Amino acid sequence: MKIKGSVVFVTGASRGLGLAFAREAVARGAAKVYAGVRNPAAFDKPGIVPVMLDVTDPASVAAAAEMAKDVTVLVNNAGIAEITGSPFSDLAEDHARRIFETNYYGVMRVTRAFEPRLPNDGRGAIVNVLSDVTWRTVPMLAPYSASKAAAWSYTNNIRAQLKERGISVVGLHVGFVDTDLTKAFDVPKASPRDVVSQTYDALEAGESEVLADAGSKALKRTLSLAVPGYIDPEVLAGQ
């Protein structure tokens, strides 16, 4: 399938990686690009149609799917992250519920609403933005990591379910991306444009997974080891 001529809907598209997905779709010649945002009145980007969307609100999700009936490519980008401090923190359970509501249940809601409308002729696709913390051990991000691990499992299951309909499902794994969300972290960061370009290239090539930075690639290589990187982070030093 090709992004050119497709109709793309990106959740969480007001800024950062989501906005990069929307802009790149326009640049690649998409027939129409929808941006799922919380405040459409404040969104004014050339060639992109803003749609009110709160992925934690079933009514909002249903209304967005009803408005954008012509979508052929869905990009589930909306997500939140919080530093819990410790998996044993008194706040960890509340953080987990709030994060899962967006990062896991939000993906489920949006996918369920749009899936019946996706075409069965090879033009239909779903891209789920995941994370390297699916496999990386970061105790202060334990609830966030769990939500992305759950979303990864969901992504793999819907890929199998939708294969017979000819709908592609791509999982994007990446670490820190250079956006407003990560500006306080002094760590190596991937370029949003590069991440998006890799993802759309993979989708057009018929691939199912994107490892968009060196860290994600290194982590994935350890998964088949007797002691993988998620058990002993020191293993990554040899990757």
Query: Choosing from 104, 148, 200, 230, which is the catalytic residue?
Result: 148
Beta-strand ranges (E) seen in 23-154 are: 32-37, 49-52, 73-76, 125-129
3-state secondary structure of 193: helix
Closest listed residue to residue 212, CA positions, set 191, 195, 188, 197: 195
5: left (phi over 0), alpha (psi -120 to 50) or beta: left
| Calpha distance 238→24 (Å, rounded) | 35
| Calpha distance 55→77 (Å, rounded) | 10
Phi and psi for 11 in degrees, rounded to 5? -85, 155
Query: Choosing from 34, 104, 105, 144, which is the catalytic residue?
Result: 144
Q: Is 144 a catalytic residue?
A: yes
| Calpha distance 223→82 (Å, rounded) | 26
Q: Is 148 a catalytic residue?
A: yes
Phi and psi for 137 in degrees, rounded to 5? -90, 110
DSSP string, 137-172: --GGGHHHHHHHHHHHHHHHHHHHHHGGGT-EEEEE
| Calpha distance 22→11 (Å, rounded) | 9
Residue type, 106: G
Active site residues: 144, 148
